Structure 1
Amino acid sequence: MRRYETPEGWTAQAYRFALDPTPAQERAFRSHAGGARKAHNTMLALVKAVLDQRTAERTYGVAESELTPTLNWSLAGLRKEWNRRKTVAAPWWGENSKEAYNTGLDALARGLDSWSMSRKGMRAGRPVGFPRFKSARARRSVRFTTGVIRVEPDRHHVRLPRVGRIKTHESTRKLRRRVEAGTARVLSATLAQDSAGRWHVAFQTIVRRGTEARCRAEDAAPVVGVDVGVKADSLLVVATPDGRELGRVPAPKPLTATQARLRALQRCAARQTGPYDHTTKTRRQPSRRWAKTQRRIGRTHARAAAVRRDVLHKATTDLAMRHQVIAVETLNVAGMRRAGGARKRGLNRALADAALAEIRRMLGYKTRWYGSTLVEADQYFPSSKMCSGCGRRKPNLTLADRGYSCDDCGLVIDRDLNAAINLARLGGTGTGSGPAASVSAGDGRGAGREAATAEVVNAAGCEASTRHNPTVGQAGTAAPKGAVA
C-alpha cells in the first residue's frame, strides 16, 4: 500500500484536545482500548506459536517445504486472520468499533516488521526485539481512521465512531475555523489516556499554510545557533555568528522539582497493599488506597511533563518565527544515557528532564510552518570543543568545565555561548538548497571523524499511515506480504 503523500502547499499538523467524557463514555474508551490489546495479544500468541512450531519441526528434520505454513505479517493479513478468530477469541467484539481491533493489529504489524528488518540488518539504530504482550497497565490508545470523525460546530464537542458526541475540556475553535475555511482536512483521530488518567483526542490533519510572517522583531538576527544543555540557567543558548548572545532559556527542571513529592508518594504506596505480595511471591488484588496513590503519582508525572512541554513549545515557536536560519546540533541522547551505572544516575535524570531531542524535533516541523530553515550539525561536529575565536580544537574539555579557555588565542568565554556561536557560523554556511560546506574539526585524535557537515532539513512535509517497509513511498512499491520464519 502506498504511503499517503501530503499535497503541495500543505503540511501535516496535529490538534490535541482534553476531553470531559461521561462515565458511560469513559467505560466505552476503556473497552475500545481493551479490544485493541486483546487483538494484539491474540495474534501475537498465534504468530509466536507458528514460529515455535516451525523451529521444532526443523529439529525433527522436516523439510522446509513441509513446515507449518507461515502467517502473513502485514496489517491486511493479520486483520484477515483476526476476523476468522474473533468470534471465539472475543465474543464481545461487536460492542466496539472495528478501528479498536485495527489499532492493536497495526501496532503488532509494525513491531513484527521492525523486528524482521532489524534482524536482517535493514533497519538503522539499535536492535529491535521481538514484540511483547501488552498488559492491562499498558498505555490505553485507539486510533480511528474511518467513520464519523469531526469537530462539532459548537466548538465544544467532537464526534468519534461508536462513541458518539464527546464534550471537550477546552475550545476547539482553532481547528474548527480551519475546517470551515477549507484550509484543514482531518485524516484520523487518536484517543489516548495520559498518566494522570485524563483522556485526550488528537486529530491528525493536513493544513494549508501560506508564507507566515517571520523576523517580526526588528533586531532579530537572520542566522542563529542554538546550543542545548541541562544546566538550570541554560536549557537553550541563542547566539549569532558575530558572537552576540541573543538570549538564554532557563531549564524548568520539572521532574527535579517534583522529586520530593514523588518520593513521599512512592513511600506511601510501598506501605499499602499493592498488586504483588513479596512474601508469597504471588499477585493479589490491590487496595483502593494503593490505586488512589498511584493516580496521585500519575498526576504528578503528568504535570511535570506539561510544564516541560509548555516551555519547549514557547521557546521553539519564538525561534522559528523570529529567525530565518536556525542551526542546532544532533545529539545521541539515548547513547549519552546508556552507560555509567549508579554514578551517572543524576546526569541521566537531568538529560531526561531536559528533553534535548524534543527541541530538535519541534524545530523540525515549526521551521516548515513559519518558512524558516533548520540546519542540523552532524553528531560529531565539535561545537563545544572548538574555539570560536581561532577555530582550534580543545580535545580535553570535560563536562565539569563550564567555561572555555583557549590555549592558543587566550579566549575566555562561556562554554554554552561558545558552542552556540560555532553552530551559528555553521548555519551561515549551510543556508541554501544543498548541504553546508564542511567545517574543520582541528587536529588530534578523532579529527577526521569530527570533520562534519550540516544537513539542511527538507521542508517538504510527509504524513502517512503505518509504514511497514522502507521502500514504501520511495519507489511506490508495496510492502512484501510474506514473513520470514
Structure 2
Amino acid sequence: MGFPRFKSRRRATPSIRFTTGAIRVETDRKHVVLPRLGRLKTHESTRKLARRLEAGTARILSATVRRDGGRWHVAFCVEVNRAELTPTRPHTVIGVDVGVKHLAVLSTGKLLPNPRHLDTAARRMRRLSRRMSRRVGPNRRTGRRPSNRWERARRQVARAHARVANLRRDGLHQLTVRLTREYGTIVVEDLNVAGMLRNRRLARRIADAGFGELRRQLAYKTAWNGGRLIVANRWYPSSKTCSACGTVKAKLALSERTYTCTTCGLILDRDINAARNLAALAHEVDTAGSGPVAGRGADHKTRPGGPVATKRQPGTATAGKTGTVPPQGRTA
C-alpha cells in the first residue's frame, strides 16, 4: 500500500469515510448512526433511504462525512436494485450542443439559457471578500491567530461560494434528468474543457457553466434510464458543417453566430446547426457500426489553408433528401 499520504488541514476538505462498524438509519427518519460519532440528527429527512432499507432493495456500503460551506454532510454509498427503465421516446435522437450564451442547444431548436449563477452572486461575493480582507486574519509567519470577526466573515464567504456551487449542481441535475428520461439517444461533443479553461477571456464563464459535469451526469443517467450516449470525436466539425447539404467550411470565427452556407444558401443559428449535425451523427454510427464514421468525423483540425468549403463523402445521405437529420419526435 505504501506510505500514508496525509491531508493538509488548511487546503483539503475535511472528510472521513466509514466502511465498517455500525452504519444505519434510524426508524424516526431524522437520525443516523455512524462509527465513533454515534447517533447524529440530520437536517433533511432520510425517509427515502429508510424505505429502501426496510424493503430490502438497498444495502449501505459506506458513509462519508465531509464539511462543505460551513455545514457537515453525510453521504451514503448504497447498493440498490434498480428497475429496468425505458425513456419516454426511446427511438428519438437528440443532439446537444453546449455553450456559454446558452447552456444547451437541442437539435429540436430549443435553447436552454445559461443561468450564470456566479455572475449573479459576484457582487455580493466581492463585498464579503472585501469585508474579510479588512479584518485581522491569521499570520503563519508570526503565529498570529485570526480574530473572531475574521472567522465570521470567512464563514460567510464560504457559504456564498457553496450556494453558487449548489445552484449550479441543481440546475445540471434537472437538465440531465429531463433529457435522459425523454430521449433514447443523446449525442454530445468530446470537449477539451481543460484546454478551454486556458482562455483567460472565457475561463470563468466556462467554469461556471460546468461542461464536464454535464457530460458526466449524462453518461451514468443514460445507463440508468435505458438510453444511449454517443460522444462525437473531439475534432468533429459540428459547427463548420452545413446540416442541410454537408458542406464543411475551412474557417468559422467564434464571432460568427449565424451559419451561412455558400453552397445551398442555408442561414441558421450556429449552435442549432451544430446540434443538428450531432443528431445526424447518431444515424451514421448506426449505419457504420462500431467503427469510425465515414465521411463525417475528423482526427485533426480543419486545415486553415484549404479551400473555403469542401463536400463530405457521399453515401451518408438518404436518397431524395438533402440532409441526414432524422425527424424529431419520431423514429430515427
TM-score, normalised with respect to structure 2: 0.84
CA contact (8 A) 1:249 1:315 kept: no
8 Å CA contact retained: 1:152, 1:159: yes
Letter in 2 for 1:161: P
Aligned twin of 1:236: 104
Does residue 351 in structure 1 map to residue 209 in structure 2? no
CA distance in 1, matches of 2:29, 2:282: 42
Q: Do the aligned partners of residues 201 and 133 (structure 1) sit closer, same or farther apart at CA in structure 2, a change above 3 Å counting?
A: closer
Q: 2:111 — aligned with what?
A: 248
Q: How far 1:327 moved relative to its partner?
A: 0.7
For residues 268 and 414 of structure 1, the distance between their equivalents in structure 2, rounded to whole angstroms, comes to: 44
Instruction: Measure, in 2, the Cα distance between the counterparts of 1:322 and 1:436.
Output: 27
More strand by share: 2
Give secondary structure in 1 for the equivalent of 2:262. Answer: coil
Q: Cα distance, 1:190 vs. partner?
A: 0.7
SS of residue in 2 equivalent to 1:429: helix
> What is the deviation of 1:443?
9.5
Please report the TM-score for the alignment, with normalisation by the length of structure 1: 0.59
Per the alignment, do residues 436 and 215 of structure 1 end up closer, same or farther by CA in structure 2, a change over 3 Å counting?
farther
Matched residue, 2:250: 395
Percent identity, aligned pairs only, is: 49
Could you give the per-residue CA deviations for residues 353-392 of structure 1, whole angstroms, max 9, x where no partner exists?
Answer: 0000101100111111111111111211111121111212
- Residue 187 of structure 2 is aligned to residue 327 of structure 1: yes
* Mapped partners of 2:241, 2:97: distance in 1: 13
| Match 1:140 to one of 4, 14, 38 | 14
Counterpart residue identity of residue 250, structure 1 = P
Name the SS for the 2:249 alignment partner: coil
* Residue aligned with 1:169, SS: coil
* DSSP 3-state at the match of 2:248: coil
Hey, what's the Cα distance between the residues in 2 that align with 1:183 and 1:305? 31
Tell me the SS of whatever aligns to 1:235. strand
Q: Which residue pairs with 1:407 in the alignment?
A: 262
Structure 2: how far apart are the matches of 1:412 and 1:307?
Answer: 36
1:4 is matched with: none
Structure 1 segments (4+ residues) deviating >6 Å: 442-445
- Please point out which of 206, 214, 220 is paired with 2:87: 214
Task: Kindly state the Cα deviation for residue 265 of structure 1 after the two structures are TM-superposed.
Answer: 1.2
Counterpart check, 1:361 vs 2:224: no
- 1:424–1:145: structure 2 CA closer, same or farther, 3 Å change rule? same
Q: Which has the higher helix share?
A: 1
How large is the Cα RMSD of the aligned pairs?
2.5
Q: How many equivalent pairs are there?
A: 304
- Paired residues of 1:325 and 1:431 also in contact (CA < 8 A): no
**CA deviation vs aligned residue, 1:368-420 (integer Å, no higher than 9, x gap):** 11111111112111111211112122232122222211222221111111111
Which residue of 1 is the match for residue 75 of structure 2?
A: 202
* Contact residue 275 and residue 284 of structure 1 kept, 8 A: yes
Change (3 A) 1:442 1:214: closer
The answer as to 2:167 corresponding to 1:274 is no
Is the Cα–Cα contact under 8 Å of residues 187 and 203 in structure 1 kept in the other structure? Answer: yes
Equivalent pair of 1:158/1:168 in contact (CA under 8 Å): yes
**Cα-to-partner distance string for 1:35-65 (whole Å, 9 max, x where unaligned):** xxxxxxxxxxxxxxxxxxxxxxxxxxxxxxx
Unmatched tracts of structure 2, length 5 or more: 304-311, 313-332
Structure 1 unaligned segments of length 5 or more: list them.
Answer: 1-73, 79-104, 109-131, 452-485
Distance in 1 (alpha carbons) for counterparts of 2:103 and 2:147: 41
Using a 3 Å threshold, how does the CA distance of structure 1 residues 296 and 445 change in structure 2: closer, same or farther?
closer
The residue correspondences of 1:464-479 to structure 2 (distance < 5 A) are none
Deviations 1:125-173 (A, max 9, x none): xxxxxxx861334210101111111222222211110101111111112
Q: Is the 8 A contact 2:235 2:301 kept in 1?
A: no
Residue pair 1:224, 1:327 contacting (<8 A) in 2 also: yes
Whole-Å separation in 2 of the counterparts to 1:222 and 1:169: 41
Instruction: Please give the residue correspondences for 1:66-77 in structure 2 after superposition, counting only pairs within 5 Å.
Output: 74=1, 77=2
Determine which structure has greater relative contact order: mean sequence separation of CA pairs < 8 Å that are 6+ residues apart, divided by chain length: 1
1:152-231 alignment, distance < 5 Å: 152-194=26-68, 196-215=69-88, 222-231=92-101
In structure 2, C-alpha distance between the alignment counterparts of 1:433 and 1:197, rounded to whole Å: 52
Q: How does 1:93-112 map to 2 (within 5 A)?
A: 105=4, 108=5
Kindly tell me: are residues 322 and 431 of structure 1, through their superposed partners in 2, closer, same or farther at Cα, counting changes over 3 Å? farther
Give the partner amino acid of 1:199: W
Displacement of 1:248 in angstroms is 2.4
Distance 1:445 1:316, change over 3 A: closer
Between 1:199-208 and 1:134-143, the stretch displaced more is 134-143
Distance in 2 between residues matched to 1:444 and 1:392, nearest whole Å? 18
Q: 1:223 and 1:189, CA in 2 relative to 1: closer, same or farther beyond 3 A?
A: same
Q: How far 1:442 sits from its partner (Å)?
A: 8.2
Call closer, same or farther: CA 1:435–1:284 in 2, change over 3 Å: farther
Match of 1:306 in 2: 166
Q: Aligned residue for 1:377?
A: 232
> Aligned ranges for residues 29-48 of structure 1 at < 5 Å?
none
1:420 is matched with 275
Flag the 1:401–1:171 CA change in 2: closer, same or farther, 3 A.
Answer: same
Change (3 A) 1:443 1:192: closer
Question: Separation in 1 of the partners of 2:161 and 2:130?
Answer: 16
SS of residue matched to 1:227: strand
Equivalents in 2 of 1:362, 1:251: separation in Å?
Answer: 17
